[in-house]
Structure 1
Amino acid sequence: MSNSEKATFGAGCFWGAEASFRALEGVVDTRVGLASPTDDRLLQIEVVQIEFDPKTLAYTQLIEHFWGLHNPTSVDRQGSDIGAKYRSAIFFHNTEQQELAQAAKRSLDESGQLNKPVVTGVLPLGHFASASEEHQRYLEKHGKSSCSI
């Protein structure tokens, strides 16, 4: 799709995040993989990269959906997945996404909805490496709807 845009989110296990985002109207495609703000592979985070139609689905709607997928106050952990690669992150693709993500994070933090500060990183997308084909649409391929325990 020529007028589509990309968004990249780290919300813990990428399988569940991918399945949830795929269900949104306006999502054209998804890829799971590892992303980092630089070429340093030691800083990689599990992410889902979303191709979406901005005429149908706004970037801010993707961010709101992202908040509901995980605990944005948890440092390097989502459920039973522990480690830096499971940290909460929004990787921006341009200045507009950066500004919208920072504003959304600030708004959530100031809302009083959470009992701890939001630790989600708002980071430039420096590197994205797609996971192997066996990881793409993993839950769908295995007849599962979530990767919770």
Structure 2
Amino acid sequence: MTDSNGLAFALFLAIVAMTLAITYWAAKRTRTTSEFYTAGASISGRQNGIAIAGDYLSAGSFLGLLGLISLGGFDGFLNAIGAFVGLVFLLLLVAEPLRNTGKYTMADVLVSRLNEKPVRSLSAISTIVISTFYMIAQLVGAGGLII
């Protein structure tokens, strides 16, 4: 391992350790569902904006959008712009009605109308599948940094 790869690997481990420490600290402070999902309504608009930006600036997003642009040219670029514009419609069409129901997840809303066991099972399976594909892109980005 070269010196720069060793430094990159050490920084990667430091970020993972810091993330785990923050998660442990936050878990000790969380008592209710509201505190877990919405931080007890103590997040400012600026902090929420930084969180959304962090989600869009992830390795998965960059790799996916850059791959789309490289394969599709200008059409890929338009698709990338569409992903960002789609966030506004997502907030208006899904997030606002979800907030108005007083529930925190789509599974909670569906459970209030449908049979709980199949809805929770399908929600868990879909979350695992989507997260797996997203994490593959994240790990490719991290692997590119380390190697």
TM-score range normalised by the length of the shorter chain: under 0.3
Identify the structure with the greater strand proportion: 1
Larger radius of gyration: 2
Identify the structure with the greater helix proportion: 2
